[in-house]
Structure 1
Amino acid sequence: MSRADFHQQQAEQATREAQRLLAQQATLGPRWLGWVASELYQLSPPEYAAMVRRELQRLTSPD
């Protein structure tokens, strides 16, 4: 499977995962960053974890 195919198949799920992680920010407060790091570390394969990380960045970056 090519990288483009993988990205296309996983894009929607990566966005949902990033939204799930972001939804915990208010609840966890200052502990959120460490929690997110541990959640991202557990994701597999690494290419998918990178997609979720990019989505988190996109969702939290000002326009």
Structure 2
Amino acid sequence: MSAPVERASRADFHALHQAQARALAEQWLAERPRLQAAWFDWVATQLYQLSPPEYAAMVRRELQRLSG
């Protein structure tokens, strides 16, 4: 019998993936001048494809923060 797999706490998940989420948000923001009006729809599609949802939410918050 194997031991149950523990899920990382929300804080642990955030700490592990924060830098990656910020870097991805910065990359996507760099595409804004090139994509212009299509950027918003493109980003929405990119966010929809991210997994897990918690990570997508982190990237979305970084986009908001960096756009601020």
Structure 1 residue 39: Cα displacement: 0.4
- 1:39 aligns to 2:46 (yes or no): yes
Q: TM-score, normalised by structure 1?
A: 0.96
For 1:53, the equivalent position in structure 2 comes to 60
Structure 1 residue 43: Cα displacement: 0.5
Which runs of 5 or more residues in structure 1 are unaligned? Answer: none
Q: Count residues in correspondence.
A: 61
Which runs of 5 or more residues in structure 2 are unaligned? Answer: 1-7
Structure with greater proportional helix content:
1
Structure possessing the higher radius of gyration over alpha carbons: 2
Q: Percent identity?
A: 59
CA RMSD between the two structures: 0.3
Q: TM-score, normalised by structure 2?
A: 0.89
